[in-house]
Amino acid sequence: AEGPDAFRSVLAEARPLVDLLWMRETAGGVFDTPERRAELEKTLRELTSRIRDESLRYHYQQEMRERVLSFFGSQRSGRQDGGRPGQRGQGKAAAPGGQFAKSGGGRIAITESLGQSALVKRGGEGMSVREATIIVALVNHPALIDENFAHIEFLDLANSDLRRLHAAILDAMAHDMANDRQAVIATIERAGCAEIWERAVGLIRRMRQWPALETAALEDARDAFSQALHLQRSARTLHKELKQAEAALAIDPTDENYRHLIEIQAQFQDVQATEALIEGFGVSSGRAGRA
């Protein structure tokens, strides 16, 4: 689901701080040796020891100890009669985080939506439709380059391949060749980015973002570019704020810092939902055939 329903879903999935800390330290990790398990336990002890309130610190430490015992229960139960405290079923580890996760043989299993969120997602920088729309629209409609000179010069892109195309556009601008589509494409080819350009155009065609294509009217391209640029600037700003919030939470794991992080995550999801609605317009408008 996208739009308002997706936004409400993110808010409804907000986790208690203890779940967030546990997920952050265990998500995607493999703890198949005593050294790795000991390192996890040490990290959790260090995190909970920073809690200033003595009573709250005690309960957090107790909760983390129980989760560790359950998490590694399936690996240790074969060596001990009766298993470990917090263990459930026939030799299987209890689900860390209660209803929010399931056991996975030494790995924590997080919900699909949280796993895909910017909160815990690591690596990967696929070419986004939004960023591809910006670059393809600029190349196919050079008038947009002149109209948006200040924004283009300092354009912040996440994808490394699209950054190479952006650099080629800047090179064309520097050599007074940015007012002609073929001249810009020639600059892209000289930079060794022809294959990247074809992939970007292919993505736009598959997603039917017709306003960015050469056949679209300049007015349509201008509207699509403006929308994509606005969303890009919002998304990149929120991404940076999210990183800062994550760092603040790691240093000082308080409810206040956790709530701040969740608020930014919700705003980020709202931008993505808005983007999905705009992308949907391109498909349902009936003008996709112009590609």
**Position 114 pLDDT exceeds 50:** no
* Structural domain includes residue 20: no
Check pLDDT > 90 for residue 193: yes
Domain match, 213 and 134 both: yes
Both 86 and 142 in a single domain?
no
The residue to which tokens 């810092």 are assigned: 257
**Angle CA(181)–CA(182)–CA(188) in degrees, nearest 5?**
95
Confidence tier at 110 by pLDDT (50, 70, 90) = very low
Q: How many CB atoms lie within 10 A of CB 138?
A: 26
> Is 115 inside a domain boundary?
no
Residues 164 and 88 in one domain: no
Does the residue 10 lie in any domain? no
pLDDT score recorded for residue 103: 36
Q: Name residue, tokens 């043989």.
A: 105
CA dist., res. 252 & res. 123, Å (int): 24
Which pTM does this prediction carry?
Answer: 0.49
Number of residues written out for the chain: 291
Question: Is residue 256 in some structural domain?
Answer: yes
The first and second tokens of residue 181, run together, are: 């589509």
Over residues 197-202, mean pLDDT: 96
CA distances for 187 relative to 37, 116, 148, 180, angstroms: 53, 36, 19, 11
What's CA 186's distance to the chain center, in Å?
33
Do 153 and 46 lie in a common domain?
Answer: no
Per-residue pLDDT tens digits for 252-278: 888 888 888 888 777 766 666 555 544
Coil, strand or helix: which one is 191? coil
CATH number at residue 148: 1.10.860
What is the pLDDT of the chain when averaged over all its residues? 73
pLDDT(140) > 50: yes
133 and 250, same domain (yes or no): yes
**Of the candidates 79, 109, 139, which is a domain's last residue?**
109
Q: How far is CA 45 from CA 19, 64, 220, 267, in A?
A: 15, 8, 57, 32
The residue written with tokens 């985080």 in the block is: 97
Instruction: Determine the Cα–Cα distance for residues 201 and 209; give it in Å rounded to an integer.
Output: 10
pLDDT of 81 > 70? The answer is: no
Identity of residue 246: E
Does 4 reside within a domain?
no
Burial group, residue 248, by CB count within 10 angstroms (0-12, 13-18, 19+):
middle
Final residue before a domain boundary, out of 109, 140, 174: 109
Say whether both 50 and 140 belong to one domain. no
Cβ atoms 107, 30 nearer than 8 A: yes
Domain boundary among 109, 143, 170: 109
Q: What is the mean pLDDT of residues 11-34?
A: 69
Structural domain boundaries, residue 247: 129-290
- List the one residue out of 7, 12, 3, 23 whose CA is nearest residue 266: 7
Q: Which pLDDT score, from 0 to 100, does residue 119 have?
A: 32
> How many domains is the chain built from?
2
Helix (H, G, I), strand (E, B) or coil at 92: strand
Rounded Cα gap, residues 79 and 217, in angstroms: 71
Q: What percent of the chain has pLDDT over 90?
A: 25
With a CB cutoff of 8 Å and minimum separation 6, the contacts of 21 are 44, 47, 253
Q: What six digits make up the tokens of 116?
A: 């895909």
Neighbours of 204 (CB within 10 A): 23
Residues 72 and 162 in one domain: no
Domain co-membership, 145 together with 277: yes
Q: Is 19 a domain residue?
A: no
**pLDDT tens track for 29-65:** 777 788 888 888 888 888 888 777 788 788 888 888 8
- Per the model's pLDDT, the better-predicted residue between 188 and 38 turns out to be 188
> Is 184 domain-assigned?
yes
User: Is 8 inside a domain boundary?
Assistant: no
pLDDT tops 70 at residue 120? no
Rounded to whole angstroms, the Cα distance separating 28 from 141 reads 43
Angle, CA of 16, 18 and 21, to the nearest 5°: 110
Q: Are residues 145 and 180 located together in one domain of the fold?
A: yes
Mean pLDDT calculated for residue range 239-244: 80
The pLDDT of residue 26 is: 77
Going from the C-alpha of 175 to that of each of 139, 145, 170, 172, 183, the distances in angstroms are 15, 13, 9, 5, 10
